[in-house]
Amino acid sequence: MTDPRIRRIRAEDVPAVVGLVEELAEYERARHECHLTAEQLHDALFRPSPALFGHVAEVDGRVVGMALWFLNFSTWRGTHGIYLEDLYVQPSQRGSGLGRALLQALAEECVARGYARLEWWVLDWNAPAIGFYKSLGALPMDEWTVFRLTDDSLTRLGSPLEQGD
């Protein structure tokens, strides 16, 4: 990695990263939806075959930013890509290049592994983030609408039909 402030997440970083995820949820006005525990995050990142990966930004020995990501697959491109689940840098560290450095680390992962895409979502009202992403050459996918199943809807669709349905 080019920027020495960026490195792969380690087990001892998990509590700090959970705190950053909670800060991000607060910023996104959805803190009540964030239920992540340190145990859950540790298991996802460090199980024998992890499905989640991460990088952290460190300043003066303190974790101040993070990127949590996983692999997706493009059937059209015929190869994997990276889906960035969360990118967050504490407000006091914004403008220092850490957000760019975290994204650069993921782009380097893509290039080194032959992945075709680096993708993420951003809230429509988050103008500072949108401007930042566009400045890097990222393009909004305006023709796509995100759909999600959660809670009761997911349970209904994923449960066996009851007798008589």
Active centre residues (catalytic): 133
Contact criterion met (CB below 8 Å) for 45 and 10: no
Q: Using an 8 Å Cβ cutoff, are 54 and 17 in contact?
A: yes
| Dist CA 62 CA 71 (whole Å) | 27
Distance CA 103, CA 17 (A): 17
Taking phi over 0 as left and psi of -120 to 50 as alpha, with beta for the rest, 73 belongs to beta
CA 147 to the chain's CA centroid = 18
Q: Measured between alpha carbons, how far is 125 from 112 in angstroms, rounded to an integer?
A: 33
d(Cα 65, Cα 24) in Å, to the nearest integer? 10
